[in-house]
Amino acid sequence: MTALSAPPRQAAGTLLQAQRTFFATGQTKPYDYRLAQLKKLKDAILERQDAIVQAAKDDLGRPEFEGYFEVGIMAELSHVIKKLKGWMKPRKVGLPLAQMPGSAWVQAEPLGSVLIIGPWNYPFQLVISPLIGAIAAGNCAIIKPSELAPATSKVVAELIESTFAPEYVAIREGGVDVSQSLLAEKFDHIFFTGGTRVGQIVMEAAAKNLTPVTLELGGKSPCIVDADINLEVAVRRIVWGKFLNAGQTCIAPDYILVKEEIKPAFVAALKQRIEELYGEDPSQSPDLSRLVSDHQFDRVVGLLAGEDVVVGGQHDRADRFIAPTVLNNVDWNAPTMQEEIFGPILPVLGYEKIEEAIAQVNSKPKPLALYIFSNDKALQNQVLSATSSGGVCINDVILHTAIWGMPFGGVGDSGIGAYHGQNSFHTLSHHKSVLKKPFWIDLDWRYPPYADKLEFFKKMISLS
């Protein structure tokens, strides 16, 4: 099967049926086929690196350096190519005494057709990463990129349509109407990355067809800062993670909880570091992204009303620019603390005892990420054991997501399921349990009449 020029796009139901027909041939299942498709995808990305980076600039005003984060998905792709054969091997399982002789194993099998709905904040990476998992697991896939990142959507469409035949991997561009038409169909799995509200809509639609979902959402990821730290390094890492992509990162530190005794020094260090990175006039910095749309700009700027702005605050709607901004003396009931900010605004709140900080974190829905800055191992362990979050970084931010051997996903309101590397393979596979028994022996302990076998059965159970 070779993808040539893109054929006319079919209706969602017709396209899905074409994928079901192709999947039924079994062509997607062999290791050699999956490996070949992953390598084709890798080559296609390499050929379009410049276009992908330029699209990120067009959609989000990304500096070139941050634009290459989209292409950074190549690291995961290389990891999957290297490890796939081992993941596909059946896993042997030991038998209890009562089941011997025989053998048992678990083998992964593909689900069928996977729907991937992507977000606008990392619009290339966050559709290609689930696609890598779908291909590795032996599935077909349909991608729906975000219409709010049109330049990237166009690049993804060209890449997919020139690399794969639509009965294997297809793309559907468009707005809410396209998403609705796709969600009305019965897929074998839906993989959605985006906000909690839309995630609820996706899950409701999936429930009508009993379709399993992976929901990668977000939330207010807290950053707890102890007094026992290297202040300069901690601030440098926090500022980078918060203002990367203008704060439009689902695992960006959403707010700071800092020990009161170092709060003044911490805020002063934030101010100094932001100026060092982005200059006295950050609107002229080549290293700051822009907000994705006027709607997002207006929403984020609206959060500044009535707040104590100690750093930044400048904004320009025509350029969709908001300066890196720090808020002090924030009230827990303020709008900034009621929703995920998803922009370049960083509220700073203080705490006296770590138990107070933990209680505040636990008063909110479980976040996608939690960050702890401390050299105190007892405090680190206390926060780890007393809070729940999708993932954690200790003395750093964001980078835990780029370790392909670890699952990435949320918990509670921040998501359902996990992916990356082998976890994507597992998420998008069915793990089938198989028991194999020989004919050469057939003990009669399980067959009626039972009367003279009960005591033997009791002993067998106790030994299992």
Active site residues: 216, 250
Q: Strand locations in 235-344, DSSP E?
A: 255-259, 308-311, 315-316, 321-322, 325-328
The 3-class secondary structure across 210-234, one letter per residue, is: CCCEEEECCCCCEEEECCCCCHHHH
Sign of CA pseudo-dihedral 197, 199, 200, 205: positive
Which secondary-structure segment (H or E) carries 408?
A: strand 408-409
Segments of 42-131 assigned E as strands: 91-93, 103-110, 113-117
SS3 254: coil
Return the structure tokens found at 176: 């809410």
CA dihedral 237, 243, 244, 250 (to 10 degrees): 100
Burial class from Cβ neighbours inside 10 Å (0-12, 13-18, 19+) for residue 149 reads buried
- How far is the CA of 351 from the CAs of 259, 358, 360, 378, 396, in angstroms? 5, 10, 10, 17, 20
- DSSP, collapsed to helix, strand or coil, labels residue 378 as helix
